[in-house]
Amino acid sequence: MNFPEPDKSRLERRKDLIERLRKDLNADQIIDSDEDLVAYECDALSAYRQRPMLVTLPDNTAQVSAVLKACSALDIPIVPWGAGTGLSGGALPREDGVVLSTARLRSVLDIDLKNRTVTVQPGVTNLAVTEAVEQYGFYYAPDPSSQIACSIGGNIAENSGGVHCLKYGTTTNNVLGMEVVLADGEVVRVGGKGMDQAGYDLLGLLTGSEGLLAITTEATLRILPKPEVARAMMAVFNSVEGAGQAVADIIAAGMVPAGMEIMDQLSIEAVEDFVGAGYPLGVAALLLVELDGPESEVAHHIGVLEGLLLQAGASEIRRAENEADRLRLWAGRKAAFPAMGRISPDYYCMDGTIPRGKLPEVLRRIGELAKGYGLRVANVFHAGDGNLHPLILYDSNVEGDLAKAEGLGADILKLCVEVGGVLSGEHGIGIEKRDLMPCMFNDADLDAQERIKAGFDVGQILNPGKVYPVLRRCAEGGAMHVHGGEEKFPELERF
């Protein structure tokens, strides 16, 4: 494989940086060969790529601090990297910058059952947190679909959710304390095991900050006792809008299920072919609902729930008969993203959140938008909290298909904002949605946010180019192109 030769200034900067880094890192903690850097060219938003100057693999807080101090001294950008599973381009590297990977920071540091907390390093996977405490009867509630691979550091950066976030909240509701390293290398602790902290809510500010303010090196997480029982059921509807209306009716009735997920016909058929979850074929939509808690309470609420589902027009209701059935129902939903490969060469995953009462209207309008663009959309989403994940199906080998997918995605996100929602529920803004920020925030809003970033990162070296657009206007008919021209991100190479 032939790689282009980097320019002289880049070579000199890289050489200077490597010399500084070798004072604190071992040789195997610095990746600088072109062949090895390829693995870090993109995150899961894979339509674009860019090779970094080099990658560092620190294995403790002191080494993270050393990397930040070296990059700060040389004014070299740093892009934090968790597991590379992000879906908004938040971990896309810069060719003049360093990727700081937390892959070697993967220890469970403390399990405190009395305070119901676990403290981990950022490279620990989401699922590994539950695995560390399940023998004691506890679990970690946030459960993104990629939980087997995604890291806690990435979850904190993007404020990830999951199928059970309706009842138990997203990452921000389950993080109690953090150790972070600032852009200049200073190590700071915020929060702790206590339920309340004095002063500004820096913990809330840092969670969801997408690597623009600091890099997490430790996180103290809330763990919960496993519920006495958990019961899941599947309801079949003749339309996605009908399933959406059922969700609104359930919430309006005062019920708060542990999770509610909707899948449309395209996603159902792809998933069933992929994992065999027991979903019926040929139906317009499925609504998965789970209740958990004391057995007597769940038994009562299931009866009420069935009545609400029938009243909303469910043509069939199926209960999970045992724990294996329950897990199988959720396994299908969590396999929805990879299952898309069964029905399309490529897909573009969106992430917007809307008021629950707007679900029927928004789902109808998404269908109309998709028809106008001549593309298919598979709808899979956290229905309970209105977090939509329309999967726009396209073929990157067909000229213009990616541009159409991006245009449709931008229109869907602008629709979310129009009805009172937001641009992201759990994937973050990253580079994907940065040009749409003016659709949601005015100049004063964006100025205030950027002043906060400047307070944490004076040199603007942490994940630059993400979240905040260079130009500020909500373009009509598609995403604004910061750099002009027809290509959305001309500074990046397309696959």
For 80-128, write each residue's pLDDT tens digit.
Answer: 999 999 999 999 999 999 999 999 999 999 999 999 999 999 999 999 9
Domain boundary among 337, 368, 399: 337
Residues 127 and 169 both lie in one domain: yes
CA 368, distance to chain mean position in Å, is 26
Residues 219 and 240 both lie in one domain: no
**CATH number assigned to the domain comprising residue 19:** 3.30.43.10
Question: What range defines the domain where residue 133 resides?
Answer: 108-225
Work out how many domains the chain is built from and give that number.
4
- Mean per-residue pLDDT for 323-341? 92
pLDDT in tens, 28-58: 999 999 999 999 999 887 778 899 999 999 9
Residues 172 and 293 both lie in one domain: no
Q: Are strands 229-237 and 316-319 parallel, antiparallel or unpaired?
A: antiparallel
Residue 2 forms part of a structural domain? no
Cβ-contact 291, 302 below 8 angstroms? yes
pLDDT in tens, 146-160: 999 999 999 999 999
Given a cut of 60, whether residue 480 has pLDDT beyond it is no
Residues 467 and 353 both lie in one domain: yes
Tokens of 286: 């499925």
For residue 4, give every residue at least 6 positions away whose Cβ sits within 8 Å of its Cβ, in sequence order, or none: none
Given a cut of 50, whether residue 282 has pLDDT beyond it is yes
Residues 468 and 348 both lie in one domain: yes
Residues 330 and 380 both lie in one domain: no
Confidence of residue 481 (pLDDT cuts 50, 70, 90): very low
* b/e code 243-255 from CB counts within 10 Å (16+ = b): bbbbbbebbeeeb
pLDDT in tens, 194-207: 777 778 999 999 99
Domain boundary among 292, 320, 337: 337
What DSSP designation does 226 have?
P
CA distance to 29, 47, 343, 391, 392, per residue, from 346 (Å)? 34, 9, 9, 10, 8
Q: Which residues pair with 108 in a beta bridge?
A: 120
- Mean per-residue pLDDT for 221-227? 97
- Mean per-residue pLDDT for 394-415? 96
pLDDT for 360: 84
Residues 18 and 34 both lie in one domain: yes
pLDDT for 52: 96
pLDDT for 198: 79
**CATH number assigned to the domain comprising residue 178:** 3.30.465.10
Residues 146 and 272 both lie in one domain: no
Residues 328 and 451 both lie in one domain: no
**CATH number assigned to the domain comprising residue 252:** 3.30.70.2190
Lowest mean pLDDT segment, chosen from 451-460, 468-477, 480-489: 480-489
Separation between Cα atoms, residue 106 and residue 127, nearest integer Å: 12
Residues 187 and 84 both lie in one domain: no
- Mean per-residue pLDDT for 221-240? 96
Given a cut of 60, whether residue 4 has pLDDT beyond it is no
pLDDT for 475: 54
DSSP string, 25-53: S-GGGEE--HHHHGGGS--S-TTEE---S
Confidence of residue 482 (pLDDT cuts 50, 70, 90): very low
Given a cut of 70, whether residue 427 has pLDDT beyond it is yes
Residues 381 and 483 both lie in one domain: yes
Confidence of residue 12 (pLDDT cuts 50, 70, 90): confident
Residue 349 forms part of a structural domain? yes
Residue 1 forms part of a structural domain? no
Given a cut of 60, whether residue 476 has pLDDT beyond it is no
Cβ-contact 492, 49 below 8 angstroms? yes
Residue 3 forms part of a structural domain? no
Q: What is the mean pLDDT of the chain?
A: 91
Given a cut of 80, whether residue 467 has pLDDT beyond it is yes
Domain boundary among 337, 367, 394: 337
Bigger pLDDT: 86 vs 485: 86
Residue 448 forms part of a structural domain? yes
Residues 49 and 113 both lie in one domain: no
**CATH number assigned to the domain comprising residue 469:** 3.30.70.2740
Residue 431 forms part of a structural domain? yes
pLDDT in tens, 357-383: 888 899 899 999 999 999 999 999 898
Residue 490 forms part of a structural domain? yes
Residue 269 forms part of a structural domain? yes
pLDDT for 248: 87
